[in-house]
Amino acid sequence: MNDWEMRLRAGVQSQCAGHKDIATALSELDKYRALANKSETGMTHEQFDSINWKCGMSGTYKGNTYRIAQVDFEERLIGLDGLTLGADAPTMVRCENVTLAE
């Protein structure tokens, strides 16, 4: 069971404890599932390939927003400016872990 599944289970148990009917409890469960799916899902390979990449784009990675400094089209990697992890160059992360910032 991953971290999001554990949070989902704990959240549903605490949210559903005071509800009187199953419909309300299921509604809460759906909200937590949507939150978990949105938070841990980045872009797909198809989305990455269809993006019209340009200067000034930003992406969200692990809850933080960074400017996209470079893109590796062959490996589908995204270089995030400000996420350096001990190096001067932008850190390259997998597209599945990034969502484009609005």
> pLDDT digit of tens for each residue in the chain (102 aa)?
556 556 656 665 555 555 556 666 556 656 555 554 454 568 999 999 999 999 999 999 988 999 999 999 999 999 998 876 666 778 899 999 999 987
Same domain, 77 and 49: yes
Are 34 and 8 members of one domain? yes
Task: Based on the fold, state whether residues 53 and 89 are members of the same structural domain.
Answer: yes
Residues 94 and 61 in one domain: yes
66: Cβ–Cβ under 8 A, 6 or more apart, which residues? 58, 59, 60, 80, 81, 82, 83
The boundaries of the domain holding residue 51 are: 45-100
**pLDDT confidence of residue 88:** 73
pLDDT value of residue 101? 85
How far apart (Å, rounded) are the C-alpha atoms in residues 25 and 44?
A: 31
Residues 15, 54: one domain?
no
Residues linked to residue 61 through DSSP beta bridges, in sequence order = 64
The answer on 33 and 58 residing in a single domain is no
Tell me the two tokens of residue 76. 């589908």
Whether the Cβ atoms of residue 97 and residue 61 lie closer than 8 Å to each other: yes
Q: How many domains does the chain have?
A: 2
Residues 8 and 49 placed together within one structural domain of the fold: no
- Token reading at 60: 């969200």
Please give the structure tokens belonging to residue 70.
């470079």
Q: Are residues 63 and 32 in the same domain?
A: no
